[in-house]
Structure 1
Amino acid sequence: MRRFWSWLAVELGKRAGVVAVVGLLVTLVLGFGITRLRFATGQDSYLNKSERTYKDNFGYQSLFGGEAMVVLLTMRDGKTVADLTDPAARRQIDAGARALRGRPEVAGVITPLDALQYSANLVQRSAETPGDPAPSLDPTRSIAGSMLQRAIAAETPGSAAAKARQADFGTTASRLLGVKGDKTFDNRQWVEFLLHGNDGRIRRALQAVFFDDTHAQVVVRLKGNATLDEQGRGTELVRRTWEGRQVQGATVTVTGAPAFLRDINDYLKGGMLTLGAIAVAIMVVILLVLFDVRWRLLPLAVVLIGVVWAFGLAGYLGIPLSLVTIAGLPVMLGVGIDYAIQMHARVEEEVVIDRESHPIQETARNLCPALLVVTFDAVFAFAALRFAKVPMIRQFGLLLAVGVAVICLASIILPLATLGIREYRSPTQGRDFREGALGRAVVWLGALPGRAAPVLIVASVVIFIGGVVTEGRLVLQTDPVEWVNQKSKSIRDFRVLQREADTASEMGVYVQAPDVFSDRVGRFVSDFAYRNLGRHGDRFLTANSLVTTITFLTDVPGAKPVPPTAAELRAAYAAAPRDIQRSNVSADGKAMNLIFLTKPGNLERLAAVVDDVRATTRPPAGLSATPAGLAVVGVGLLKNLEANRVLLTYLAIAFVFAFLAVRLRSIVRALLSLVPVLIATGSASLIAFALSLKLSPMTAVGGPLVVAVCTEFTSLILLRFVEERARGLDPREAVDVAAARTGRAFLVSAATAISGVLVISASSLPLLRGFGIIVGMNVAVALTSALVILPPMLVWADSRNWVSKGLVPDEVLRRSADEHRPTPAPVASPLAAD
């Protein structure tokens, strides 16, 4: 292989022009692949298509539509929701609904007027002819009236429940008969009767739309299983339609989960380039200030070309860009530039210090094999991410693995060709940089004596075990609202919804049966809704379905709910406005929708609710009840994140250890390379635990990233140490010489690697910002550990020939030992005169 590297170095330098042309063509071809990159922020990024949650939600959205955009109407100037029926307000609400209905991006629109009209239909239409809009002459024979009569009849005569129902019915009848004039929305008395129950509060059947006397919502259900672009168009359509609309007496706020996803998608398209630009700017400063060589910005140019190759190849391979992979650009810049810096610095070293006649060949022979080792270190570390349960994390692992491999190739070919032709035409006449501040700093960092190594090994094991113990106690930030830009309009609007309506999301449950218009479906859904509202009243605001709408009509304190019959379900369905029908029952009549509005809170608390609902739901034979919807998708994401978050780090360590043990032909050498990694991994958990930090869910990818960066440094240090030992130096001298010669490159590489990760903390998304801070800190600890802890361990281990043996000829090691064996002091002869 040494012959190959020597040949490659010469040929690349001699044919630098050809290399430039071929490199340009490759860049253009691969660069075109960037145009094929797609952005993914849908459930495909969070859930696996084989998962139950994914399949359930896909089926649910196929039946009842997708995510909901919410138009919150907050009454002002002393107005109440009853004022939404005033002619001016009605015109605006109806106009907004008409502008959305029938659009391909929208599955349905339910306004407060629709909900109120539905209540009016239940009160006025005959139970025998519910499709006839003509009002029943006898209110007791209306859909609502007949159900109330049945509820009374179901009670034991003379019982407390029967008396309570009769009293409530009498009050209702008195209020209804007291309505004067036409029963239309122009009659305020009629509107108040429809809105409020006998207790003066908003009727329970209406609370999914009318939260209280001053808040109501328009629900715009977007197309089910929509693509990201379709959902984005739907979100923008709702915003254009409602934002700025003057609804008399009300303030309009448009919000919803699709608005968050649109913001994230917009950020993906610009945020990655912004973070990359910041990383590049910081690296320019680092290289200009610290990297004192000719053409000091060359490594940056090389890694930028490598990044184009990497993302272009990702485009051809179909690797999507998601909320996680957005971190790929700054990370690849920070990690990848190390290869080019090492190559550039080694050429300068061979020219200035050793003054080799063929410095490019010497560099290629000594450094290129080492670069391949550290590249495989990184690839194996990132391969651990392929075992993540979250698709976007697996994609991130693939992106980084492909990226570092391509960047390594660029970092070998381009510097060898560029610096080869430079040294041929204009040889470097530099000064010896071993006495520079950076070289001295690295020598000083690694100056601990070899006898400290056993203590350091024990300390590293203790720190690692401490990290393992505390890892399970760390807390993830599981409120999705906290993951996105808190200053964005979408979040501000969503906070209004949370604060004023006490709701945040929804959990759907779709019940399937041969025919949902049956007694047993009515009984099951009614029992299911009441049971879960009772068990989880702290998480559910209310429930809404065809069944609950009419069952809630029979709510009377002191009496049990009365589930609807098949006939009552059919009558209630026939009386419902078209969009309410579509929202509640599938077109084939074999699925019914039940929606629980959830209160604000994190996914961890909601996960317990979803698990309980699944565990306690036992539908009768022939029926099924399946939780789905946005809340269930969020819980599925949380479980996937937590499933093997810690395991990914340990897998990365195991993969890298196995590779190094085989490549370096020694378990000891592999273990030595990983000691700083163990310290960094353990200390990261200990620090987070001590500071009570809430970790970003993206820290799931942080462990393998730290392993990749740290083993890159430890492998280069170890291999350079072995190289110096092969020159006949003893262990201490070998460590110091390696530190002095490579100090500049290592510190510059460390600074660029840390900045590449830390720049993510400049993101406006807390999800990314927290990741950048935590992982940037971990990388800094890892690299410091590599420079401080590995040198004395190498000295201690190789004083026993555990490092160099097998890599350095035995005669060289013996000669080195003989040359550096202390000469015994002369012993005075006992016959000598005093």
Structure 2
Amino acid sequence: MAKLRGVFASVGDRVQERPVATLALAVLLILVSVGGAAQITSVTGNAAFVAENPTYEAYSESFDHGNVAVLVRGDVTEPATIRAIDRLDRRMSETQNVYSVTSPADRVRAEYGRIPDSERKIEAVLGSPDYAIVGVTTDTGLSQQEERPIYDRAVDVKQWANFPAGVSVTVTGSAAFSAQMSAVIQQSTSQLLGLAVGLMVVALFFLFRGVRLRLLPIVAVFVGVIYTFGAIGYAGIPNSTLTSAVFPILIGLGIDYSVQFHERYEEELERNPPRTALPIALGGIGPPVLIAMLAAALGFAATWVSTTSPATIWFAQTSILGVMLTYAAGILVLLSVLTIYVRWRFDGEFDHEADADGDGDDAESTEDRLASVGTVGLLLGRSSRVFASHPKTVLVLALVLAGAGFQVSSSLDTMTDTNEFIPQDLPAYVDLQQFQSVTGGGSSTSYSVLVTGTDLRDPEVLRWMVQFEDVATEAPLITGVDSPATLVKQYNGGEIPETEAGVNRVLADVPEKTLEQYYNDGRAHVTIATAQDMTTGQVISFLGNAEDAIAYSNPPPGVTAEVTGTAAISTPSIVSQINSRNVTTALGVLFVLLLLLAYYRDPVKAVAPLVPMVFVLGWQNIYMYELGISVSPLGASLGAMTVGIGAEYTIIVMERYYEEKAREGVSRLDAVQIASARVGKAISVSGMTTVFGFSALILSPFPILSGFGFLTVGVIFLTLIASLATLPPTLVLLDGVAERVADYRASRGQPA
């Protein structure tokens, strides 16, 4: 511990010796980060929740076609409208990575060889619909980034096709939704970032009084956010709905680090000249804030290792990089600018105020130590002393409330449908819903089964598919099955040929693109139709029914069938993540406990900061229950985050407690009072600014982020309360036990 303090004091000495060079390094890193930020990509929808899966990758490569749909509404049998549809059809057919295009114009051309001038002739082919769909199917195996140029092309061609006035044309479908969602996520990220910065400015202006350059922490943390953008770009971590929540969180956490550095530097300037104030300040506050930062990173790491959902992993990875880089920015930017400012504005004023080593503090009385803390500091100190004077009462009450919270945990609602994550009035979502309504539900009501093995055209395999269809359609929630057997029977008078050669002869008559929907790359594709608008529970039941039907129908030896696709994988992944949230929280507690044990090598100092966090874990469930906040994939990670984030406050208070207790003639209660008075204001300010930062999420248009914002704001309040109300009695109680154990060992002649 002493060695780490020495390292930070040395860093502080280097910064105060070369503040301009340090600031120049920070600027250089900004320029480097801009290059990384330009490489960030976005992933949206169910794809963000689908982990690496060999079956899904094989299915995607062979059968998973994306789509762009152009929904045309109005007088679609008007010759001018059909000609515009035909122009769009032909131009999109020439687009790279487009597999096929289908439209009503195809049927009209097939009938007449051209688009006739007579609306009556067109109606003879199409009837009198009030809408038409141009379906653009993309090649298989395309990423969302590769599909987006196709959507952009469709938007451009829509204008070029020159549809008549009064005809409404909407470009939608999976690729369109992905592209529009990416734009919305980027816009939302920028808006949340700007809003969080604005709220932080207000918070610091009114709460962080009595210090030089009180808005400087905002500059430091914003630089840290730029570093984070660059880091995730270089690391290849994409942006997603969940990742966009990271940056307001980083602003809230980064402000904590910078405020602690700033406050301690100002405190040391009261007693020491600038030449020694910075090394002393950073040597004192650097290690506990470092441990607090690492604790926050480990909280996010617990989320990372306990889930397979890519979106949640990207969220955790971005958060880990972010807390580290905002911590570094606090040293590089904030302390160097403060040093330059103090030298320029107050050069020579401090030399007479204290000795260069600052050794006169040990003789100060408790009253002297509390003389300059202000009204808020005095109030916090006295309150903590009262709580610490009645440790058993306070801790039992806190434990009872936490126990009640753990009891209601199982009664909390959950948010597992990815459609609930996005704004319900989002134009991209509304367009997609309208398209799916027109087409009878679209891909949202069908799931895929990938069949692999040898001789998949063997009549025995086809007869198994017929048996699977019979079994599956008897199960609840399954309304139909379309398989290669269905195709063969359609082209062979309802019969399965007796030999594989016979099957091949039948399939030779099937159009190539139709056949590729069933057989491709040596694999077979079965589609299961389901009830529309299923709940998450029904989706899980359906998947179970489909897997049971596969097992019961007994595929032939060497043949494997698995339900796959983004919807089939993402929904169980999200449900599993939410159901395992207690495991994630336990991992967070364990990781932070091991960190504290490794740093302090003292069980009391390792356990004490976590006791208030255990209380908060229970209290937050009561908060969620009373406000009706659902548990989302983000909320499922909050327990581990709470331990990591909240440990900062408790570690800083505990460090100051032991620092004060080491002074001559200071009792445990005196140490609690001084520690809470001296750092309580700083953590209250940083906590409130964190609340302001997190509150930006409340205004997000994405329900999953808005709910997470409400949740985190409440949890930060609870964490502050626990740090100032339950940590002092915890310290007094555990420290007293530790002293009695040490005295007992000493009396028995054992090493303490």
Name the TM-score class by shorter chain: 0.7 to 0.9
Q: Structure 1 counterpart of 2:222, which letter?
A: L
Per the TM alignment, residue 464 of structure 1 is displaced from its structure 2 partner at its CA by 4.2
Counterpart selection for 1:720 from 656, 659, 675? 656
Matched residue, 2:692:
755
CA distance in 1, matches of 2:340, 2:284: 19
Matched residue, 1:125:
none
Establish whether residue 492 from structure 1 lines up as the match of residue 430 from structure 2.
yes
CA distance in 1, matches of 2:643, 2:336: 31
Cα separation, partners in 2 of 1:411 and 1:552, compared to 1, 3 Å: same
Q: Structure 2 counterpart of 1:61, which letter?
A: S
Counterpart selection for 1:383 from 282, 301, 305? 301
Q: How does 1:663-678 map to 2 (within 5 A)?
A: 663-678=599-614
**Range with bigger deviation, 685-694 or 703-712:** 685-694
Is contact 1:457–1:675 with CA below 8 Å preserved after alignment?
no
Matched residue, 1:228:
144
Matched residue, 1:611:
544
Per the TM alignment, residue 283 of structure 1 is displaced from its structure 2 partner at its CA by 0.9
Q: How does 1:165-204 map to 2 (within 5 A)?
A: none
CA distance in 2, matches of 1:655, 1:341: 26
Cα separation, partners in 2 of 1:690 and 1:114, compared to 1, 3 Å: farther
Q: Structure 2 counterpart of 1:737, which letter?
A: I
Cα separation, partners in 2 of 1:769 and 1:569, compared to 1, 3 Å: farther
Per the TM alignment, residue 771 of structure 1 is displaced from its structure 2 partner at its CA by 1.9
Normalising by structure 2, we get a TM-score of 0.82
Report Cα offsets for 1:396-436 as digits up to 9, x if no partner. 32332232223323323444433334444406899x98453
Counterpart selection for 1:583 from 496, 517, 523? 517
CA distance in 2, matches of 1:241, 1:581: 29
Q: Structure 2 counterpart of 1:780, which letter?
A: F
Establish whether residue 734 from structure 1 lines up as the match of residue 671 from structure 2.
yes
CA distance in 2, matches of 1:106, 1:58: 20
Matched residue, 2:463:
523
**Range with bigger deviation, 214-223 or 447-456:** 214-223
Matched residue, 2:21:
18
Is contact 2:20–2:340 with CA below 8 Å preserved after alignment?
no
Matched residue, 1:327:
245
Q: Structure 1 counterpart of 2:23, which letter?
A: A
Cα separation, partners in 2 of 1:402 and 1:43, compared to 1, 3 Å: same
Query: What stretches of structure 1 of length at least 5 have no aligned partner?
Result: 78-82, 121-184, 196-212, 555-560, 807-834
Report Cα offsets for 1:174-195 as digits up to 9, x if no partner. xxxxxxxxxxx96989989xx9
Per the TM alignment, residue 636 of structure 1 is displaced from its structure 2 partner at its CA by 4.6
Per the TM alignment, residue 341 of structure 1 is displaced from its structure 2 partner at its CA by 0.7
CA distance in 1, matches of 2:428, 2:667: 64
Establish whether residue 108 from structure 1 lines up as the match of residue 42 from structure 2.
no
Instruction: Give the 3-state SS of the residue equivalent to 2:529 in structure 1.
Output: strand
Matched residue, 2:56:
57
Cα separation, partners in 2 of 1:316 and 1:630, compared to 1, 3 Å: closer
Is contact 2:200–2:218 with CA below 8 Å preserved after alignment?
yes
Cα separation, partners in 2 of 1:191 and 1:376, compared to 1, 3 Å: closer
Cα separation, partners in 2 of 1:574 and 1:11, compared to 1, 3 Å: closer
Establish whether residue 656 from structure 1 lines up as the match of residue 592 from structure 2.
yes
Establish whether residue 400 from structure 1 lines up as the match of residue 282 from structure 2.
no
Is contact 1:483–1:765 with CA below 8 Å preserved after alignment?
yes
Is contact 2:46–2:567 with CA below 8 Å preserved after alignment?
no
Q: Structure 1 counterpart of 2:22, which letter?
A: V
Q: How does 1:97-176 map to 2 (within 5 A)?
A: 97-111=89-103
Is contact 1:669–1:802 with CA below 8 Å preserved after alignment?
no
Matched residue, 1:824:
none
Instruction: Give the 3-state SS of the residue equivalent to 1:583 in structure 2.
Output: coil
CA distance in 2, matches of 1:527, 1:735: 74
Per the TM alignment, residue 296 of structure 1 is displaced from its structure 2 partner at its CA by 0.7
**Range with bigger deviation, 448-457 or 734-743:** 448-457
Counterpart selection for 1:452 from 387, 390, 393? 390
Matched residue, 1:774:
711
Is contact 2:416–2:575 with CA below 8 Å preserved after alignment?
no
Per the TM alignment, residue 710 of structure 1 is displaced from its structure 2 partner at its CA by 0.6
Q: Structure 2 counterpart of 1:443, which letter?
A: G
Counterpart selection for 2:724 from 766, 781, 787? 787
Is contact 2:26–2:329 with CA below 8 Å preserved after alignment?
no
Q: Structure 1 counterpart of 2:606, which letter?
A: A
Q: Structure 2 counterpart of 1:717, which letter?
A: V
Identity of aligned residues (%): 25
CA distance in 1, matches of 2:540, 2:221: 43
Is contact 1:460–1:675 with CA below 8 Å preserved after alignment?
no
Is contact 1:510–1:627 with CA below 8 Å preserved after alignment?
yes
CA distance in 1, matches of 2:724, 2:484: 67
Q: Structure 1 counterpart of 2:393, which letter?
A: V
CA distance in 1, matches of 2:192, 2:532: 35
CA distance in 2, matches of 1:91, 1:758: 52
Per the TM alignment, residue 367 of structure 1 is displaced from its structure 2 partner at its CA by 1.5
CA distance in 2, matches of 1:608, 1:622: 27
Establish whether residue 260 from structure 1 lines up as the match of residue 193 from structure 2.
no
Instruction: Give the 3-state SS of the residue equivalent to 2:308 in structure 1.
Output: coil
Instruction: Give the 3-state SS of the residue equivalent to 2:38 in structure 1.
Output: helix
Counterpart selection for 2:629 from 693, 716, 719? 693
Cα separation, partners in 2 of 1:102 and 1:508, compared to 1, 3 Å: farther
CA distance in 2, matches of 1:250, 1:571: 46
Cα separation, partners in 2 of 1:111 and 1:454, compared to 1, 3 Å: farther
Q: Structure 2 counterpart of 1:638, which letter?
A: I
Per the TM alignment, residue 805 of structure 1 is displaced from its structure 2 partner at its CA by 8.0
Report Cα offsets for 1:75-117 as digits up to 9, x if no partner. x79xxxxx97x97776555544333335323223344687999
Per the TM alignment, residue 334 of structure 1 is displaced from its structure 2 partner at its CA by 0.9
Cα separation, partners in 2 of 1:803 and 1:63, compared to 1, 3 Å: farther
Cα separation, partners in 2 of 1:789 and 1:104, compared to 1, 3 Å: same
Per the TM alignment, residue 228 of structure 1 is displaced from its structure 2 partner at its CA by 2.5
Matched residue, 2:40:
37
Matched residue, 1:503:
441
Report Cα offsets for 1:607-654 as digits up to 9, x if no partner. 221222122213233544332234223335325534633311111111
CA distance in 2, matches of 1:759, 1:639: 27
Q: Structure 2 counterpart of 1:318, which letter?
A: G
Is contact 2:417–2:571 with CA below 8 Å preserved after alignment?
no
Q: Structure 2 counterpart of 1:278, which letter?
A: L
Q: Structure 1 counterpart of 2:425, which letter?
A: K
Give the length in aligned residue pairs: 704
Report Cα offsets for 1:680-705 as digits up to 9, x if no partner. 21122233234443322222332222
Report Cα offsets for 1:183-240 as digits up to 9, x if no partner. xx96989989xx9xxxxxxxxxxxxxxxxx9887554322222122211122333455
Instruction: Give the 3-state SS of the residue equivalent to 1:455 in structure 2.
Output: helix
Is contact 1:483–1:766 with CA below 8 Å preserved after alignment?
yes
Is contact 1:467–1:684 with CA below 8 Å preserved after alignment?
yes
Report Cα offsets for 1:141-197 as digits up to 9, x if no partner. xxxxxxxxxxxxxxxxxxxxxxxxxxxxxxxxxxxxxxxxxxxx96989989xx9xx
Per the TM alignment, residue 27 of structure 1 is displaced from its structure 2 partner at its CA by 3.3
Is contact 2:12–2:282 with CA below 8 Å preserved after alignment?
yes
Q: Structure 1 counterpart of 2:67, which letter?
A: A
Instruction: Give the 3-state SS of the residue equivalent to 2:637 in structure 1.
Output: helix
Q: Structure 1 counterpart of 2:315, which letter?
A: F
Is contact 1:484–1:766 with CA below 8 Å preserved after alignment?
yes
Q: Structure 2 counterpart of 1:446, which letter?
A: S
Is contact 2:36–2:233 with CA below 8 Å preserved after alignment?
yes
Instruction: Give the 3-state SS of the residue equivalent to 2:41 in structure 1.
Output: coil
Establish whether residue 627 from structure 1 lines up as the match of residue 545 from structure 2.
no
Establish whether residue 364 from structure 1 lines up as the match of residue 275 from structure 2.
no
